[in-house]
Amino acid sequence: MSQSTPHPSATAAPLSPVLIGGMLARPLPGFLLNPLLRLTLNTVVARHPAMFDRLEGLDCPLMLIDPVDLPFRLALCPDAARPELRLARTGDDEVATASVRGPLMTLFDLMEGRLDGDALFFSRALVIDGDTEVVVALRNALDGEEIDLLDDVLSLFGPFNPLARLLAARAEALLGRAAADLAALRNALLDDVERRGRGQAAELSRLGERLEHLERAGRQRKRAAP
């Protein structure tokens, strides 16, 4: 089953700390990011081996994951024997089986089961292109696991895990406050734009009425002329 489900709202990056962080991360070369992606995936596989076992019948499809608020896309091959997660390369679009596009935090929430997959897939929160059976199979595999990506990553710190958790909690609190501040800024900007738009609409209405009055007066003068 192959289909495209376009939702324009999911293609717009929300104003968020992720968007700003993505702008700062844009200059980072792939040879620095790819090892981190491999390490993260290997950790998830080691802690949740049954997840990829459920995908054995998919013949290693290539899925593109596009966080719209980051300057790069990811390519995931959920092969049970040799799963791969890396930065997407030129040409991946031609061979990709499916793609998922949306804000990074929405993708995280979907992966960790905090959001209902069916509701997201049929809403404007995500854009899904290509073979939806692959996407649904991956979602079902995720639903069968209790994944906490942060917990999985923090497990790499071994004896320093408590300190890493403390720092992560403080960073999460800072990000939460930053997200709230950016949301307030966005709302203020939108309110200002909306207010200006209403003012311009009122001014155009007044100009239209004045023009109509002048045209009516001109017609009356023509009729009154000898």
Rounded Cα distance, 26 and 16, in Å: 16
Rounded Cα distance, 126 and 9, in Å: 8
The pLDDT of residue 4 is 38
Q: Order of strands, edge to edge, in the sheet holding 84-87?
A: 2-5, 127-131, 98-102, 63-67, 74-77, 84-87
Q: Which residues lie below 8 Å from residue 54, measured CB to CB, with a gap of 6+?
A: 137, 140, 141, 144
Contact 27, 72 (CB under 8 A): no
Q: For residue 157, give the DSSP letter.
A: G
Average pLDDT value for the chain? 77
| CB atoms near residue 168 (< 10 Å) | 15
Backbone angles phi, psi at 66, to 5 degrees: -115, 95
| pLDDT value at 98 more than 80 | yes
Lowest-confidence pick of 1-10, 87-96, 189-198, 205-214? 1-10
Strand 98-102 relative to strand 63-67: parallel, antiparallel, unpaired? parallel
pTM value is 0.64
Contact 134, 63 (CB under 8 A): yes
Contact 139, 132 (CB under 8 A): no
Query: What does the pLDDT average to over 141-152?
Result: 76
CATH 3.30.1050.10 fits 2-147, yes or no: yes
The pLDDT of residue 143 is 73
| pLDDT value at 18 more than 70 | no
Nearest-Å Rg of the Cα atoms of the chain is: 26
Rounded Cα distance, 142 and 75, in Å: 17
Residue 12: pLDDT band (50, 70, 90) is low
What the block records as the tokens of 9 is: 């709202």
What's CA 182's distance to the chain center, in Å? 16
More confident residue, 2 or 175: 175
Query: What does the pLDDT average to over 95-108?
Result: 86
Q: For residue 70, give the DSSP letter.
A: S
The pLDDT of residue 150 is 76
| pLDDT value at 75 more than 90 | yes
What's CA 37's distance to the chain center, in Å? 18
The pLDDT of residue 64 is 92
